[in-house]
């Protein structure tokens, strides 16, 4: 078997995604070992996902500002409403990852009531957690887009 990128080099391993052969330099280029094509596909997905996060935050911010302005509360209140609304998905995701790490065994006792309680608590806390999580998530998304662009375009 030979490398799928360098056909004149013998393969020392294989791509974890497609199973194609990888030479020594290709095998050590990515962790886990991945061929250039599969790495490009993965980075394109990451870039798309990170851009989606940024677009969703911007759209929710604009909707929140418009809602705040429609209530005649003033610009500062409208900006605050936009920020809280934009932060809601970030808060929801942060609380979800916290629940996933801690395990959901508590909610197995009363499945329907437990899950409903979990969703109500997450819904109530998401705006507050989102206030802190939104800037962190935006910075991470921007870095992810830049990293993916750099990997895709050299």
Query: What is the rounded distance in angstroms from the CA atom of residue 79 to the CA atom of residue 64?
Result: 7
Weakest mean pLDDT among 8-12, 82-86, 112-116: 112-116
Q: Which residues fall within 8 angstroms of residue 67, CB to CB, at 6 or more apart?
A: 78, 81, 82, 85
- Mean pLDDT confidence for 38-49: 85
State residue 17's pLDDT score: 87
Query: Which structure tokens are listed for 88?
Result: 């809601």
Residue 1: pLDDT band by 50, 70, 90 thresholds?
Answer: confident
The whole-number average pLDDT for the span 119-131 is: 90
- Axis-axis angle for helices 75-102, 111-153 (nearest 10): 100
Closest CA to 3 of 22, 28, 18: 22
Percent of the chain with pLDDT over 70: 90
d(CA 101, CA 94): 11
Q: How much is the average pLDDT of 126-148?
A: 89
How many Cα atoms are found within 13 Å in the side-chain-facing hemisphere of 82? 19
Q: Choose among 77, 119, 67: nearest CA to 96.
A: 119
Phi, psi values for residue 10, rounded to 5°: -70, 145
Confidence of residue 59 (pLDDT cuts 50, 70, 90): very high
Does the pLDDT value for residue 152 go beyond 80?
Answer: no
Is 126 or 40 the better-scoring residue by pLDDT?
126
pLDDT confidence bin for 124, thresholds 50/70/90: very high
For the chain, the first-to-last Cα distance in angstroms comes to 28
pTM comes to 0.68
């Amino acid at each position: 078997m030979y490398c799928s990128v360098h056909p004149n080099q013998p393969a020392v391993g294989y791509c974890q995604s497609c199973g194609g052969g990888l030479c020594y330099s290709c095998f050590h280029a990515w962790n886990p070992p991945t061929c250039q094509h599969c790495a490009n596909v993965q980075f394109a997905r990451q870039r798309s996902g990170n851009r989606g996060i940024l677009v969703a935050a911007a759209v929710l911010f604009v909707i929140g500002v418009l809602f705040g302005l429609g209530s005649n509360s003033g610009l500062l209140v409208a900006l605050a409403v936009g920020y809280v609304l934009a932060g809601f998905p970030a808060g929801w995701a942060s609380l979800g990852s916290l629940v996933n790490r801690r395990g959901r065994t508590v909610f197995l006792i009363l499945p329907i009531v437990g899950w409903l309680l979990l969703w109500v608590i997450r819904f109530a806390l998401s705006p507050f957690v989102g206030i802190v999580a939104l800037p962190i998530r935006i910075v991470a998304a921007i870095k992810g887009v830049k990293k993916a662009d750099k990997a895709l375009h050299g």
